Amino acid sequence: MREVTIACVQMQVELNRMEDNLVKMSEWIEKIAVAQKVDLIVFPELATTGYECGVRFTDFAQRVPGPSANLIAQRASEFGVYVAFGLPSKEKVESVLYNSAVLVGPDGDLVGEYRKVHLKGEERLAFRNGFRFPVLEADFGNVGLMIGWDVAFPEAARTYALDGADLLIVCANWEKPNVEEWRTYVTARALENSIFVAASNRIGQDATLTFCGETMIVGPRGQAFAQVDEEIEGYALARIDLDDVRRYREELQQIQNRQPSAYRAVVRQY
């Protein structure tokens, strides 16, 4: 058995208040880790800044590793946990920004960074698309990071599954009017790939958008292991067995019975 305890945080992010958000994240890490033994804590997309920062993303974006990643990594090492969270990042060229998620480890190290591939709406004005789906190695198994709208694209989750991920971590800022599609996408990605999905979505409001929460941890048969239903701050907590991924894939043969030669249209440019 490869048992892992995961906590997905549903928090209200304060727009343009990076220091306040980092303090709040630090407090959540301590609160969760003191209450029970936990292996992984997940925060939402752009948890350090909020979503509608506009041109201010240029001020908030940091290198990875950098101050925000280092601070959360320090907190992770204090409590011996992995932590995944979203933040705006940048390259050496100051004008090249990404909507990123990072995973830091219990030794205070940076495990890896993912840059959002599927940008939506005005995100395209602030950020550049990522173009890789890197599988990250944690002590408990292989992890794939996804951000927000990525979960709407089955190709992203399937790529991770084919490359050996046992767990998909989704950091999201999903809007309140679209809560039903959020639930559907998260469940579908888990079910169609026989994989666990730990999905953290924020609540609260930015300048014009309101976010729906519904943070959840879903199993490889689409079953909800834990969920934060109401629009409140809290966290979904579940202990899962990653060996269930292999067991269900062998039983259902979803990966083995694929017919790639018949799927040419999938990679055709629209």
In a domain, 129, yes or no: yes
What is the CATH classification number for the domain harbouring 207? 3.60.110.10
Does residue 233 lie in a domain region? yes
Residue 158 lies in a domain: yes
pLDDT tens sequence for the chain (270 residues): 899 999 999 999 999 999 999 999 999 999 999 999 999 999 999 999 999 999 999 999 999 999 999 999 999 999 999 999 999 999 877 789 999 999 999 999 999 999 999 999 999 999 999 999 999 999 999 999 999 999 999 999 999 999 999 999 999 999 999 999 999 999 999 999 999 999 999 999 999 999 999 999 999 999 999 999 878 999 999 999 999 999 999 999 989 999 999 998 988 887
The answer as to whether 266 is a domain residue is: no
Round to whole Å and give the CA distance between 178 and 240. 28
Number of domains the chain is built from: 1
Pairing type for strands 196-201 and 167-172 reads parallel
User: Which residues form the domain of 120?
Assistant: 3-260
Q: What pTM value is reported for the model?
A: 0.97
Considering the domain boundaries, does residue 265 fall inside one? no
